[in-house]
Structure 1
Amino acid sequence: MKIIDKPLSARQPLAAALTADFSSVAHLYQSDASKPANWQARLEWLDHNEDNRINRQDVVNVLRSYNERHNAHPRVGESLNRLEQKGTAVIVGGQQSGLFTGPMLVIYKAATIIKAARKAEAELGRPVVPVFWIAGEDHDWDESNHTYVLSTELKVTRIRMHRDDDLRTPVSYTTVKASEWSRVIEELNELLPDTEFKPQLLADLRESAAETLSLSFARLLGKLFGAYGLVLLDSADPELRKLEKDMFASIIREGDALTASYIEAARQIREMGLEEQAEVAEDGANLFYLQDQKRLLLFRSGDRYQDRSGRVSFTREQLLEQIEQHPERFSNNVLTRPLMQDALLPVLGFVLGDGEIAYWALLKKAFGVLNLQMPLLLPRMSFTVVDGTLQKYMDQYGLTFEEVRDHFQQRKSAWLNQQDNVHVDERFAEVKEAFTRLYDPLIEQLGTIEKGLVRLGGTNKERILAQMDYLQGKAKDALATANEATLRHWDRIYLSLMPQDKLQERVYNIFYYLNRYGTDFMEQLMEIPYETNACHKLILL
């Protein structure tokens, strides 16, 4: 394995500024994670505010119960034992559940959490535990229920899991039938080539099948990262909800101040010529309420809290009573989830992708409203895997990663034109020009005989040119057919590195690569050191 830095020029502006020009965004974020002193300062703040968070032992008890059931590795138990001790901090990152763990960026985020925790522990001389926050409260089933692999026929193929209804139910509460698990695993089996690693991979997937997508997601993350001590947390865990009820109540009581802080941050972002990356509603309560299995976003309307369709409606007192009696019915939205995370855990740093970093720009003052403080923000590691065959093809055709990403079709067309010994486009252009030069005067002369012949001649000319275009197209198709085998090399390069015109990590599933390289791939991935200002990297296998 060889690692090559490949900076991305099209990064989200706020995310790029966070690591390259922090002073320009210091009014939006708390601290520059590239400065060691800021890590120590954050740690000291956590120490001083230990008693202001949700009770540490209560949180660990819930996490222990969950992980013993779904992530029961001895190293995870060790992490939880350490987390029980005052002074232990955590590095956190999160993602919604995804089929077979979803796109590879989820794997890279989990790896980043573990590496960043290791790095912080070594540099600070203090225990730091990695925690992955499964956003099981999210209700967008269509974002969670699928994944992609590249088939042997060079097709970016989606595997999609179905359910019986279209309710806005949290993914962690959405039941998946055993027959549906069998179907999607068999579909993956048919798409992946046979390798020495495939039988065990499929066995692991069958063993991970569970009554919900979130539980399967947790089991797979446990198989991949339990040995590294990664603690899992499902935000939809009803036992956690009981611990969070005071924080939910604070979000309601401080709703006006929170909304004002979001609006002010959005204004500052717009003044920079950028757009805020999360919707800020002036009447938003920024909490969801679960009613009849539907997750309803609450808004303030006069002295009441209700969803847009009016399914539920509460006074403030009634809402606070609901929180006290039924905390499992409530969940955070994108603007309050980070606040809940900071109240629940001693968060030293939070691992985020570029889009997440951008919406966190709305939150600095919101943390202060609830007597919290924004943690250090740590960019997720980002990779593109390039196997040996792709490297050979790219060298053969003189292609760089940047050219594949930004100018692939132009390079492919230029290469194909070089194979055209007849010079089809030039020859047809010459013939069309000569034909037009000879035919136009003839049409004009025919008009002296009868004016109607001019119109007829023009129509005839267009038909002849159309026939030339048709023959030119056929000639180009024949050229492509003659070079079909080589063009498949080009297609494989692009479909492997930029599927659906996106970075590989945003589309393909990790099991495509585990099927080819086995667990060695994961072990080598975990050896790559973490840097807070890291750029996109190529992994050459």
Structure 2
Amino acid sequence: MPTDCISYQNSGYFSPLMNDYLDQKNNLKELYNRFPTLENFEGQILEKQENFNNTNRNTLVSVLQKQYATIETSHLTLQNIEALKVDNTFTVTTGHQLNLFSGPLYFLYKIISTINLTKDLKAKYPAYNFVPIYWMATEDHDFEEINHFNFKGKKFRWNKISSGPVGRLSTEGLEEFLEIYAQELGTSTNAIAIQKLFQQAYLKHNNLADATRHLANALFGNYGLVILDADNPELKRNFIPFMKEELLQQTSHKEVSKTVEQLKEYFIQVNPREINLFYIEDNLRERIIFENEKYKVNHTKIEFSENEILELLDSNPEKFSPNVIMRPLYQEVILPNLCYIGGGGEIAYWLELKSFFDAVKITFPMLLVRNSALLTTEKQEKKAAKLGLSWADLFSKQADLVNKKTFDLSEFPIDLSIQKDFLKNQFHYLHSIAKKTDQSFSDAVKAQEAKQIKGLENLEKRLLKAQKRKYSDELERITNLQNELFPNKSLQERQANFSEFYLENGENLIPKLFTRLQALEQNFEIITL
């Protein structure tokens, strides 16, 4: 079976906006800084070096050292943290929610893309250092998005109430969760390794941020990954000027609204609010709104005058949390960052932000779509070959695939186009006669033509259904295979958890992904495990 990659644009799973971005269409070029190629990083390095406030490096390193103080840390990660002190070190960053046990499989692809890109950059620009950063979305408060994962078609959900930032959420109660999950894993060597990883991450740490850090470090620490929790008062102190401008000037709303208007032909990922900051406490994260000359915390009785909220910002910046519009700016202010790596949805909302970054004079990072892959087995590949399926077939919508294979399997043409063309030619003669008579006869000819064409179309549909019944066994094998590779008729990477593949492949899984995935490629990689 052919092992050619499927381009993102031809996969059928990317939005028109992302396809046009990847094709570097002219109408989008003012919405990003530089397109991610190795050559374009030279200009990005020089611009960030000129623009970045290097005094922020000491704060960043100090915070990271405290966050890693109790973690078994690889030499390479410690080296990367130390390197962040010097002005020839830059970061490549990806972000991800604190999904339970990493959530969907693409968590791995994001981080592997990030680490691999830093390696490529070091090879191209040896005078600089490049550090891979995983930005944990610890301040998000949508617990329903992260409290579950899928394993072999079953959803495992953590039933718990949460209203504040998820990073501060207690891991209490996950002992019972692990007991249920362990029953599905079995007792193999790899199953026991997965259980141990879950146990050490979630049962030996008190909150979700620490648990997720342990998990990511266990999987990627030996590759030099640096994991950052930006829900931190020291880091937010460096962001105070920008949060102050947001409260007083609402620059983000003004600038992003203009870009949203430019993107009106596409589906808009995120719409800005007038103030793009939240008020945050352990069990609270609510929008800050401005009403009747007061700053109010939505759905609460908390309110501030202008002086009061500015005093709070100066004394307790950790009480303020950037939303999806402001968080990218926060990232680029505190990190010497060159590139953000994310999925199509993330890159889409980043494309709304460049004019905002320009207005506040912060370098806009390069935007790279993360790697994607379809993991398969030799057995599945053999099935596909036997059924005469290409990877392009398997990526197509199931209804289209079934129709195509029915046409291929049929011993005679199902398409009645020849008959319809013959009929139209017959009516062409009648139309020429009708022109010489009255309008009523002409209308009757048109109506009869439409009726007979419609009749042939209905026969064509019935013939297709009849052939589907005839070849139902083979078509069922085709759809079963596609359903294995695309669970819930969706991308595997958005449905399955990495543990499903670790169970079969163990410690070989991640090294193989590192070898096969290339950060700057724009294709779905087909990887046989």
Paired residue for 2:146? 144
Paired residue for 1:13? 16
Which deviates more, 326-335 or 66-75? 66-75
Paired residue for 2:518? 530
> How does 1:159-174 map onto structure 2 within 5 Å?
159-163=156-160, 165-167=161-163, 169-174=164-169
Count residues in correspondence: 467
- Pair 267,253 (structure 1): closer, same or farther in 2 beyond 3 Å: same
Deviations 1:313-372 (A, max 9, x none): 222222111111222221110000010011000011111111111111110011122210
Select 1:228's aligned residue among 198, 214, 223.
Answer: 223
Which deviates more, 220-229 or 303-312? 303-312
On the 8 A contact 1:20/1:533 being kept in 2, the answer is: no
Select 1:339's aligned residue among 329, 341, 355.
Answer: 329
**Residue 86 of structure 1 aligns to a residue in which SS?**
coil
Paired residue for 1:428? none
Which amino acid counterpart does residue 372 of structure 1 have in structure 2?
I
Question: By how many angstroms is 1:300 displaced?
Answer: 2.4
1:26 corresponds to 2:29? yes
Which ranges of 4 or more aligned residues in structure 1 deviate by more than 6 Å? 413-420
Which amino acid counterpart does residue 149 of structure 1 have in structure 2?
F
**Residue 280 of structure 1 aligns to a residue in which SS?**
coil
Compute the TM-score of the two structures, normalised by the length of structure 2: 0.81
Question: By how many angstroms is 1:49 displaced?
Answer: 2.3
Paired residue for 1:78? 79
1:368 corresponds to 2:371? no
1:114 corresponds to 2:124? no
**Residue 516 of structure 2 aligns to a residue in which SS?**
coil
% same residue: 24
Which amino acid counterpart does residue 176 of structure 2 have in structure 1?
R
Paired residue for 2:279? 289
On the 8 A contact 2:151/2:500 being kept in 1, the answer is: yes
Deviations 1:13-63 (A, max 9, x none): 232222322533112111122261x3111111222123x366201111101
- Pair 45,413 (structure 1): closer, same or farther in 2 beyond 3 Å: closer
> How does 1:472-483 map onto structure 2 within 5 Å?
none
Paired residue for 1:274? 266
What is the alpha-carbon distance in structure 1 between the residues aligned to residue 220 and residue 493 of structure 2? 18
What is the alpha-carbon distance in structure 2 between the residues aligned to residue 6 and residue 304 of structure 1? 53
Question: By how many angstroms is 1:489 displaced?
Answer: 5.6
Which deviates more, 132-141 or 303-312? 303-312
What is the alpha-carbon distance in structure 1 between the residues aligned to residue 408 and residue 238 of structure 2? 67
Question: By how many angstroms is 1:217 displaced?
Answer: 1.6
Which amino acid counterpart does residue 509 of structure 1 have in structure 2?
N
Question: By how many angstroms is 1:301 displaced?
Answer: 2.4
What is the alpha-carbon distance in structure 1 between the residues aligned to residue 383 and residue 475 of structure 2? 11
On the 8 A contact 1:159/1:188 being kept in 2, the answer is: yes
- Pair 495,194 (structure 1): closer, same or farther in 2 beyond 3 Å: farther
On the 8 A contact 1:289/1:329 being kept in 2, the answer is: yes
Question: By how many angstroms is 1:291 displaced?
Answer: 5.0
**Residue 398 of structure 1 aligns to a residue in which SS?**
coil
Residue segments in structure 1 that go unaligned for 5+ positions in a row: 151-155, 421-475
Question: By how many angstroms is 1:518 displaced?
Answer: 0.8
Which deviates more, 23-32 or 497-506? 23-32
Which amino acid counterpart does residue 103 of structure 1 have in structure 2?
P
What is the alpha-carbon distance in structure 1 between the residues aligned to residue 46 and residue 165 of structure 2? 36
Question: By how many angstroms is 1:381 displaced?
Answer: 0.4
Deviations 1:265-300 (A, max 9, x none): 011111xx113210223xx21000025722101122
Question: By how many angstroms is 1:310 displaced?
Answer: 5.1
- Pair 534,418 (structure 1): closer, same or farther in 2 beyond 3 Å: closer
> How does 1:304-323 map onto structure 2 within 5 Å?
304-309=294-299, 311-323=301-313
Question: By how many angstroms is 1:123 displaced?
Answer: 1.0
- Pair 357,411 (structure 1): closer, same or farther in 2 beyond 3 Å: closer
Question: By how many angstroms is 1:200 displaced?
Answer: 1.8
Select 2:508's aligned residue among 520, 523, 538.
Answer: 520
**Residue 267 of structure 2 aligns to a residue in which SS?**
coil
**Residue 69 of structure 1 aligns to a residue in which SS?**
coil
1:496 corresponds to 2:490? no
What is the alpha-carbon distance in structure 1 between the residues aligned to residue 337 and residue 187 of structure 2? 43
Residue segments in structure 2 that go unaligned for 5+ positions in a row: 411-467
Which deviates more, 365-374 or 62-71? 62-71
Question: By how many angstroms is 1:196 displaced?
Answer: 3.3
Question: By how many angstroms is 1:410 displaced?
Answer: 6.2
Deviations 1:155-194 (A, max 9, x none): x11011121x342x110111121xx322222332222355
